[in-house]
Amino acid sequence: MKAIQIGWAQISITPERPLLMIGQMYHRVSEYVRDPITATALALDNGQTQAIFLSMDMTEFPAHAVAPLKKRLAQVKGLKFEYISIGVTHTHNSSDFYSDFMREDNERVYGADILPKIELAEDVLTGEEAQEFLVSRLADVVTRAWESRKPGAVSMAHDYAAVGFCRRPVFRGKTDETVMYGDCSREDFIRFEPGGDSSADMLYTWDEQGELTGILVNIPCPSQVFALHRFITADYWGFARDEIRERLGNVYILPLCGAAGDLSPLDLVRISKYNKKELVEWGGQAKEVFRNFDMTRVCQEIAERIADAVARGYQRARNEMEQTPVFGHEVLELKLPLRLVTREEYEIAAREVARFKSTFSSEHRMTEEDVVKAFEPQGDVLRWEQQQVSCEFDCACHVLRIGNAGIATNPFELFTEYALRMKARVIPEQLFIGQLSNGVGGYLPTESALAGGSYSSKSASSFCGPEGGDALVEKTIEAVNRLFS
């Protein structure tokens, strides 16, 4: 086996001008920068196999950036673009650095004339200018990571950090009903849907002298404490990077968001009683909501819990360095079953769309609240159109073996059940899961989520359902186990 070579780089993707923000249904333009957002790249290569992990403080995979980024990186000697795993921390206080994609879908179904009127100030960074801002920085950080490769070593550790909490409480009724971000202080609150994972998986890298150079940290939770507001922030990951560096030195930190489609960093059991009105408004998804808890304190507490796990793992990992780990990398090109809507569902949705169109006009436009109400019928109409062309969802998933650990990525907001099934059934003791990678797959809900209802379980917010989730699990397990057979 050949020695592994390791390269790292980090770059700021913090804008100096206002940006279109994504992650909420209501229109947002950033008003200021609370803390920097960054992109970090880790390059691994042993002369036969290579992998680059690129992680960004963004909401979702920037599909618009792939072609121009690939063109830029084609000039980098030895680098194979298809082996770059691109993921995000899923902060809701960032941008896709191009456009408001939700607005584009709204206009496609309802037309621009009846939607809320939006006039962007001249200094807002958007379109091709914003794309160039992002792509130039991503090309730079990947190139520097690749070209700085040097012989080194890797080691792994597994620990626990309580970060993610289920965000889908269930309420008693004739049929039990789930409400995403529901008020748990209600008398009819009975439980949460199955979902939770407090694992913390770490990949540590070392130089030839045995000095720590960087850490890939896999936490199953989106970075969404601040979430609802109009400022740029890396959310709890900004705090966590600072806390880890305070303890272990000025090393590179690459966050990998684990399966967390049903998780949030906020504990609804403990915040509900002080946020009854705010949770209703939050669930409405139509405006900025100021909730009754200290967001900075929550982020700092999360950072400390993550850093505790990373520091404990460091004590074990520093004694288990591998200079020539078994290294394998496979990219799965999957065709998963598309989640379909029935003709009846489509016809109901089409009637709702027609009702919205007849109710509103250029003189009497929809409000943000109306746009939220129109989201589900809009999604069903778009899905019906999509399934007339194809009933499959194409996606690329990276599967790796590094030493005795596996890594598997997917493009979904993956409900935790699927990840737990993978982790339990693969050969390696440790499996890193990276969601929201190399594609935009929407939520991937479970059978229990579909039964419970609410946002994140509906077809409008998911391309695949449980059938697709089952297929993803099986294909991922097969691929991981091939690398360990």
Residue 187 pLDDT exceeds 80 = yes
Going by C-alpha positions, the residue among 410, 462, 475, 441 that lies closest to residue 256 is 410
Q: How many CA atoms lie within 13 A of 192 on its CB side?
A: 17
Write out pLDDT tens, residues 91-132.
999 999 998 888 899 999 999 999 999 989 999 999 999 999
pLDDT band at 312 (very low <50, low <70, confident <90, very high): very high
pLDDT, residue 99, reads 85
Structure tokens at 133: 């801002």
Place of tokens 């992109």: 39
> What is the amino acid identity at position 249?
G
pLDDT, residue 235, reads 99
Write out pLDDT tens, residues 342-368.
999 999 999 999 999 999 999 999 999
pLDDT, residue 174, reads 84
Write out pLDDT tens, residues 377-388.
999 999 999 999
Looking at residues 187-215, what average pLDDT do you find?
97
CA distance 25 to 457: 16
pLDDT band at 2 (very low <50, low <70, confident <90, very high): confident
Structure tokens at 391: 């009933």
pLDDT, residue 93, reads 97
Query: Hey, is 226 helix, strand or coil?
Result: coil
Give the single-character DSSP code of 265: S
Mode of pairing for the β-strands spanning 165-166 and 150-160: unpaired
Write out pLDDT tens, residues 285-309.
889 999 999 999 999 999 999 999 9
Quote the crossing angle between the two packed helices 101-110 and 343-359, to the nearest 10°: 90
pLDDT, residue 370, reads 95
Percent of the chain with pLDDT over 70: 100
pLDDT, residue 340, reads 98
Buried/exposed 33-61: b ≥16 CB within 10 Å, e otherwise: bbbebbbbbbbbbbeebbbbbbbbbbbbb
pLDDT band at 237 (very low <50, low <70, confident <90, very high): very high
Structure tokens at 412: 């979904």
Cβ-Cβ contacts under 8 Å for 475 (sequence gap 6 or more): 332, 334, 397
pLDDT, residue 100, reads 84
Write out pLDDT tens, residues 249-273.
999 999 999 999 999 999 999 999 9
Mean pLDDT of the chain: 97
pLDDT band at 398 (very low <50, low <70, confident <90, very high): very high
Query: Hey, is 20 helix, strand or coil?
Result: strand
Structure tokens at 77: 């000697």
Q: How many CA atoms lie within 13 A of 411 on its CB side?
A: 23
- Ramachandran angles phi, psi of 72, nearest 5°: -65, -40
pLDDT, residue 102, reads 86
CA distance 373 to 335: 31
